[in-house]
Structure 1
């Protein structure tokens, strides 16, 4: 009987020790999570905007009058076939676009042969424009990298912008 009592005491001590170690690990993970969040916030504050920030007016005076693009009230996305994050964001953009109640414009940056697959995928939900980096739409939106997404209101003013879909507000359900 004393062996059984000793075994129960040992198991109880091991359980308490395991519980204390678990609490220590949880505390460390929370501290690490807070440190990462602080680092991301600091990094976001020091990084330049990837495109025109919220509140910026978009002027399309440089866009060819023969092929006008009306961006008022539109969801706009800039993507490049050579960009790894773009490959992740294109499906997210397509999903977001299906819930958007307005125009959807996607700019595929690069040579027409390079962007052919991207044009087909984005063409399901958006008006697709193919142009090189530094083209008129890139200039109008102040785009400096990929992927870049934004919402533009009816007055051609940027409502929200960023390089992740989470930078945009949740679309209203149809």
Structure 2
């Protein structure tokens, strides 16, 4: 009879231990659910920059790879500004679309500015493709230009009006409101 009592007590203790583990798992799942709820939803539109349409960009100064000084004053006549990062898979994915969009647009090289963010060695391919089409500026992460535009995502594409005011912004280059060049 004592063996039976010991077995019953042992099974009871195992059930109690199992119950404690189950409660721990449930608690952890609730924490994960709360953390997941705080993440941005995929179906929500991603804001490339924090500046709203109509806002004026902040002050900055940088030097393009061709030695040209680029400042917020340089952008007073408007144009296209792009931000691409060396560590961004979406940037590499969108680069061919962006290059084709630039080639088919009426924008001149002096109206297009591309800020490549990150390690220069990792940006060589992007730099080579974009230099004939735009003024290219290399910047570190968190540099003055990304702060002036309040960049929130990569890639970011921003159309500026006169006065360096945000006309439109997107993470997809094919959504840019760029006039296509006339075909002969």
Q: 1:137 aligns with which of 145, 156, 161?
A: 145
CA shift for structure 1 position 67? 3.1
For residues 145 and 132 of structure 2, what CA distance do their matches in structure 1 show?
Answer: 21
CA shift for structure 1 position 170? 4.0
TM-score (normalizing by structure 2): 0.63
CA shift for structure 1 position 172? 4.1
Q: 1:125 aligns with which of 125, 129, 133?
A: 133
- Is 2:98–2:174's contact at 8 Å kept on the other side of the alignment? no
Greater radius of gyration (CA): 2
- Is 1:71–1:105's contact at 8 Å kept on the other side of the alignment? no
Q: Which runs of 5+ in 2 are unaligned?
A: 1-40
Q: 2:102 aligns with which of 97, 101, 108?
A: 97
1:5-25 Cα deviation digits (max 9, x unpaired): xxxxxxxxxxxxxxxxxxxxx
For residues 64 and 75 of structure 1, what CA distance do their matches in structure 2 show?
Answer: 16
TM-score (normalizing by structure 1): 0.66
CA shift for structure 1 position 53? 3.0
CA shift for structure 1 position 64? 5.2
The residue aligned with 2:52 is 53
Q: Which runs of 5+ in 1 are unaligned?
A: 1-38
CA shift for structure 1 position 89? 1.4
1:23-46 Cα deviation digits (max 9, x unpaired): xxxxxxxxxxxxxxxx97x612xx
For residues 127 and 64 of structure 1, what CA distance do their matches in structure 2 show?
Answer: 11
Which SS does the other structure have where 2:58 is aligned?
A: coil
How many correspondences in the alignment?
Answer: 131
For residues 170 and 127 of structure 1, what CA distance do their matches in structure 2 show?
Answer: 17
The residue aligned with 1:79 is 84
- Is 1:79–1:108's contact at 8 Å kept on the other side of the alignment? yes
CA shift for structure 1 position 95? 1.8
